[in-house]
Amino acid sequence: MSELLVPDSIAAPPTRSELVIDGLREPGVDLVAARHRVEVASTALRRRMLLTGAGVLLAAVIVGLVIWTIGRVGDDVETVAEESTTTVATSTTFTIPEAVSVTPVTTSSTVPAAAGVAPPAEPTSRSPLSAQLSVARGVSVGAPFTLAIDWNDADHAAAAAPSVTIEWNDPFLAAAAAEPPDAVCSAAGSPRAGRIERAFRYSTPGPRTIRVRLRSCGGTGPFGEDVTTELPLDVGGVAGVPLVAAVDSGAGDPDAAGAVRYASDTGGVETLANRSDAIDQVLRRDRTRRATVLISSAWNAGDVVLLRFPDDSCRWASLGTEGSSVAAVLTQQGCQPPRPTTTTVPVSITAPSTTTPPSSTTSTTSP
């Protein structure tokens, strides 16, 4: 052991701790440095213990949240068992202080797929096109009349009036052609109204139904219109027998021609009633032949019907076995048709007093 040092009478006496340390002092040993290392080690240990506790607590909270989430998702899955499902995996990694090692927690849950959503419906016209049909007076066979179509549309998108297609419901005659549809429109327009007029004449009497189809924007697109409306009417008869006479497209307007009937029973000539109003009508099943309605006192097999046009050209044909209310197609050219033979005189209705029989030198009577 080292010798005990006697303190200087002037210096302050050593403390008990200093005496103990001085007594334990060994040559070559730094007790001050050793105490510092002990203190550092103790502080580090306390810090590690604190971080470890915090990490354990955080891990417990994460596990609790995961269990709660799985429980909620499971309840949702049970309520939508009939729907298709999509599996979504969620991976969450937490950074833990280096003193604590925690394995990343991965959870997998099944959630219902979004229900199928239909594409948005195309907008439709908010104000449908409406139309009213009317005629100014009664309608009779062979007489021209005008059909008025009054239409109204509060959001008319087309630049022009609606296109018109008319079914007149006549057994022999039809309209010449339907009007072409308009272009497709995709935006609403402004309020518009108007009147469209079409002329016609019927070939036979009886109840008829006029059917009119109106189309705006071709009837397609979100603001296109396609409306059909009807008008019932009763076509009256006339004092005479109607006949539909048709000619090919190169013969001119049959409504503007004068008509003559050469009667097969008497050899007489009858000037037929015809209208001067030009109405472009065609045979229902043959749109290459334009037609008109001729009114005669009677029609007999063998009668010859002739039309003389303003340019002095003519079309004629023999009725053959056809009787009244039939369509006769005049295909022969020339203004001097052969006269019907008179060897056999069938019973027929006598022509009116206005009928002028031909003289021996006259083959035709000008209308």
Would you say 144 and 277 are in contact if contact means Cβ atoms under 8 Å apart? yes
Q: Under 8 Å CB-to-CB from 265, ≥6 apart: which residues? A: 300, 342, 345, 346, 347, 348
**Count of beta carbons in the 10 Å neighbourhood of residue 117:** 6
The three-class DSSP label of residue 270 is strand
User: Fold for domain 130-236?
Assistant: Immunoglobulin-like (2.60.40)
* Tens of pLDDT, residues 155-164: 787 778 888 8
Would you say 328 and 291 are in contact if contact means Cβ atoms under 8 Å apart? no
241-333 matches 130-236 in CATH topology:
yes
Delimit the domains of the chain by residue range: 16-112, 130-236, 241-333
Would you say 210 and 168 are in contact if contact means Cβ atoms under 8 Å apart? yes
Is pLDDT larger for residue 341 or for residue 314?
A: 314
Whether 108 shows a pLDDT value over 80: the answer reads no
* Tens of pLDDT, residues 44-97: 778 888 888 877 788 888 878 878 777 765 565 455 444 444 443 444 444 544
**26: confidence class by pLDDT, cuts 50, 70, 90:** low
Candidate CATH numbers 3.90.320, 2.30.130, 2.60.200, 2.60.40; the one for domain 241-333: 2.60.40
Is pLDDT larger for residue 295 or for residue 80?
A: 295
Whether 361 shows a pLDDT value over 50: the answer reads no
* Tens of pLDDT, residues 235-245: 999 888 999 99
346: left (phi over 0), alpha (psi -120 to 50) or beta: beta
